[in-house]
Amino acid sequence: MPGEPAEAPRAKSARAYSIATVCLSGTLDDRLEAAARAGFDGVEIFENDLIASASRVAEIRARAADLGLRIELYQPFRDAEGAPPERFKSVLRRMRAKLDLAAELGAPTVLVCSSVAPDTIGDDDLAAGQLHVLAGLAADRGLRLAYEALAWGRQVSTWEHSWGLVQRAGHPALGLCLDSFHVLSRTSDYAGIRSLPGDKIFFLQLADAPRLDMDVLQWSRHHRLFPLQGGFDLAGFTRAVDTTGYAGPLSLEVFNDVFRQADPHRTAVDAMRSLIALDDAVRPAAGQPGPLVPAPVLDGIAFAELTVDAESGPELQRWLGLLGFSHVGQHRSKPVQLWEQGGARILLNSSVDRSAPAEGSAAISAFALDSEQPARSAERAAQLLARPLPRTRAAAEADLTAVAAPDGTQIFFGRSEPDGPYGWLGDFLATGDRSGHPAGITGIDHLSLAQPYDRFDEAGLFYRSILGLRDDEAAEYAAPYGLVRTLAVHDPGGRVRLALSVPLLRRGEWAPGVTHPQHITLATGDIEATAAALTAAGAPLLPIPANYYDDLDARLALDPALLTRLRRIGGLYDEDAHGRYVQLFTPVISGRVFFEISQRIGGYRGYGLANEPVRMAAHRALRRAGRPDRGGRLGGVRRGR
């Protein structure tokens, strides 16, 4: 199944990894199974998941044991401390019941979160006394209470305050639960945590989040992310906790609208990857080796591979010819063509690859990275649970390890050289064809990959952790049919760039003409010369609306000569603080893929995303124009009211 985690052993860690069942979707059974299959050592059982389960407590305990999962925590117990005396009676009653349940469940610790009830009394002595009493009930059963400050707690909302109460209560069965979200959503100054005694930190919950300016309760309930997926300093926070000598599990507690409805097996693997990467980021600073082999330096995108069929194959060959590529090689054992121009290499693969994942209907079915150490790149990917893809390989062929990206795209690690164990060029027999008239293309600038809705945050973490890529600024733009989120990533050397995109909301049925073609951006050092060559070759590029240039002129007061040239070549233009960018586009080919040709002038760091709405509308207009039955441009079809 697509959610199957890698069977490769994860990077070894002495630490126990745990996940709260609330992070995952499905029945409690679905969630436990997903956690176990992703390799977690333990779980937190979220109360509502247990209440709704058709299984009795003893059955759940047995099931977890069968799956090799420790039940680390039962959570949450709410509105305990600061209760008015009359209500405290019902708190005691409820606590006894929940402690009995935890004991039966085999959970050694129950999480108590700070009260939110409006009648909570702000009296630390009262609250500490009550916590002492409750801890006594826990101790009677051989259990412990971990007290946590909710960021929106009525009286207690900081870790310092919760620690004050724990000290004041002074009961051995009462300790702290630290939750990175509750701490980091309120402050970036968490240095004081280092001075806590580690043995009084009973539990550590980890969650990242994007930096949002909104009500903290809503932020927490809907937008948490796994570590290294958001904007919080999870590594620094975890390091601070480690300093105390805390020896308990690293446990994830993430409330996220998408994860709540996504395949729990996929989510659990994503979650485990985040913990491994976090652990790797934390330990070197503590003087220990990280569990991961370092990400090797990447030299660039070796090739992009398009899977073609009887319809799209000839069409893409025609287009590669128009763009100045030559069909320079033919694979020794497979129906794969190598097309080349400058440093840009594109493979057309007309085999049906049964190993390709079902979701591999993307136009760009694979790409390869030139790694300085391909075997280590592959080893790191395996350590981070990338799903390995089996490849059939003849004896003399290169040892290209492939893994599946979250969107199903296959990623190969190799070397663009004819020889050596990873030299994939040797797998191709030279055709001797150099018939293409080069148009000045020098390489692949970047790949634009539309992502599956449920896997966008997973994809960001995947590329950051496995390939060592870094984020460019994330963006959002209004496309003709809805908002689009983007995240671009690049390697430190600037030789590998990927632009990921996803609709802000999952698309519904009303999406006429909306496809999510992927595209390959080809670099040129002289966009005008390239445009001239393409025009000479008869390549029909994407027409750009005149209104666009009028606006460009009004906004940027470009040199009139430049504007004239842009209009002539149909170029889109962008600039940032570092440089300028000019883009040309082909039409969408076979409904699945198109090419961008771009020139970076100066140190421009973007991807021309500001122009995406115009590009998309232009592709839409071209598509309509090609299908007159669907109605043409404004004024083309006139219907009365």
Kindly identify the residues of this chain, within the stretch 213-272, that bind a copy of itself according to CB under 8 A: 213-215, 218, 222, 257-258, 260-263, 266
Give yes or no for residue 286 binding a copy of itself (CB under 8 A). no
Rounded to a whole number of angstroms, the CA Rg of the chain reads: 28
Query: Can you state the angle between helices 560-569 and 527-537, rounded to 10 degrees?
Result: 30
Long-range contacts of 120-125 (CB under 8 A, 24+ apart): 120/79, 120/81, 120/82, 120/83, 120/154, 120/155, 121/82, 121/83, 121/84, 121/155, 122/82, 122/154, 122/155, 123/82, 124/164, 124/165, 124/168, 125/168
By beta-carbon proximity to a copy of itself, the closer residue of 52 and 561 is 52
By beta-carbon proximity to a copy of itself, the closer residue of 100 and 315 is 100
Give yes or no for residue 354 binding a copy of itself (CB under 8 A). no
Neighbouring C-beta atoms of residue 538, cutoff 10 Å:
7
By beta-carbon proximity to a copy of itself, the closer residue of 66 and 125 is 66
Applying CB under 8 A, the site for a copy of itself has a residue count of 88
**Segment contacting a copy of itself by CB under 8 A, of 20-28, 173-181, 308-316, 404-412:** 20-28
By beta-carbon proximity to a copy of itself, the closer residue of 24 and 523 is 24
CB of 54 to a copy of itself, least distance (A): 4
Phi/psi at 566 (nearest 5 deg)?
-60, -45
Contact (Cβ atoms closer than 8 angstroms) between residue 219 and residue 180? no
Among 508, 538, 559, 629, binds a copy of itself (CB under 8 A): 508
Tokens of residue 549, six digits: 């240039």
CB of 26 to a copy of itself, least distance (A): 6
| Exposure of 118 in the CB half-sphere (CA atoms within 13 A) | 0
Contact (Cβ atoms closer than 8 angstroms) between residue 64 and residue 32? yes
By beta-carbon proximity to a copy of itself, the closer residue of 395 and 634 is 634
For residue 499, which of 606, 592, 588 has the smallest C-alpha distance? 606
Tokens of residue 20, six digits: 């709260």
**Segment contacting a copy of itself by CB under 8 A, of 173-181, 303-311, 323-331, 510-518:** 510-518
| Exposure of 569 in the CB half-sphere (CA atoms within 13 A) | 24
**Segment contacting a copy of itself by CB under 8 A, of 272-280, 338-346, 523-531, 629-637:** 629-637
Give yes or no for residue 152 binding a copy of itself (CB under 8 A). no
CB of 606 to a copy of itself, least distance (A): 18
Give yes or no for residue 617 binding a copy of itself (CB under 8 A). yes
**Segment contacting a copy of itself by CB under 8 A, of 242-250, 414-422, 527-535, 548-556:** 548-556
Give yes or no for residue 564 binding a copy of itself (CB under 8 A). no
CB of 503 to a copy of itself, least distance (A): 7
CB of 207 to a copy of itself, least distance (A): 16
By beta-carbon proximity to a copy of itself, the closer residue of 16 and 481 is 481
Give yes or no for residue 29 binding a copy of itself (CB under 8 A). yes
Among 480, 493, 603, 626, binds a copy of itself (CB under 8 A): 480
CB of 508 to a copy of itself, least distance (A): 6
* 291-322: burial string, b at 16+ Cβ within 10 Å, e else: bbbebbebbbbbbbbbbbeeebbeebbebbbb
Query: Can you state the angle between helices 264-282 and 456-467, rounded to 10 degrees?
Result: 40
CA distance 409 to 406: 7
**102: exposed, middle or buried (Cβ count in 10 Å: 0-12, 13-18, 19+):** buried
CB of 239 to a copy of itself, least distance (A): 30
CB of 408 to a copy of itself, least distance (A): 13
Please name the residues in contact with 502: beta carbons below 8 A apart, sequence gap of 6 or more: 450, 451, 452, 453, 456, 484, 485, 486
| Residue 191: alpha-carbon gap to chain centroid | 29
Among 194, 332, 470, 506, binds a copy of itself (CB under 8 A): 506
Among 27, 158, 317, 535, binds a copy of itself (CB under 8 A): 27
Parallel/antiparallel/unpaired status of strands 174-179 and 387-389? unpaired
CB of 361 to a copy of itself, least distance (A): 13
Give yes or no for residue 478 binding a copy of itself (CB under 8 A). yes
Contact (Cβ atoms closer than 8 angstroms) between residue 604 and residue 612? no
By beta-carbon proximity to a copy of itself, the closer residue of 85 and 287 is 85
Give yes or no for residue 553 binding a copy of itself (CB under 8 A). yes
The residues in 34-93 that bind a copy of itself, with binding defined as CB under 8 A, are: 36-37, 47-48, 50-57, 59-60, 62-63, 66-68, 90, 93
Among 119, 473, 550, 576, binds a copy of itself (CB under 8 A): 550
Phi/psi at 359 (nearest 5 deg)?
-80, 5
Give yes or no for residue 628 binding a copy of itself (CB under 8 A). no
* 57-82: burial string, b at 16+ Cβ within 10 Å, e else: beebbebbeebebbbbbbbbbbbbbb
CA distance 252 to 585: 44
Among 197, 198, 545, 628, binds a copy of itself (CB under 8 A): 545
For residue 399, which of 434, 368, 430 has the smallest C-alpha distance? 368
**Segment contacting a copy of itself by CB under 8 A, of 207-215, 235-243, 314-322, 577-585:** 207-215
Give yes or no for residue 430 binding a copy of itself (CB under 8 A). no
Parallel/antiparallel/unpaired status of strands 201-206 and 250-252? parallel
Contact (Cβ atoms closer than 8 angstroms) between residue 278 and residue 228? yes
By beta-carbon proximity to a copy of itself, the closer residue of 285 and 478 is 478
Give yes or no for residue 546 binding a copy of itself (CB under 8 A). yes
By beta-carbon proximity to a copy of itself, the closer residue of 84 and 480 is 480
| C-alpha distances in Å from residue 423, one per residue of 10, 182, 418 | 28, 50, 5
CB of 209 to a copy of itself, least distance (A): 14
Give yes or no for residue 1 binding a copy of itself (CB under 8 A). no
CB of 101 to a copy of itself, least distance (A): 7
**Segment contacting a copy of itself by CB under 8 A, of 230-238, 388-396, 406-414, 613-621:** 613-621
Tokens of residue 574, six digits: 């962008």
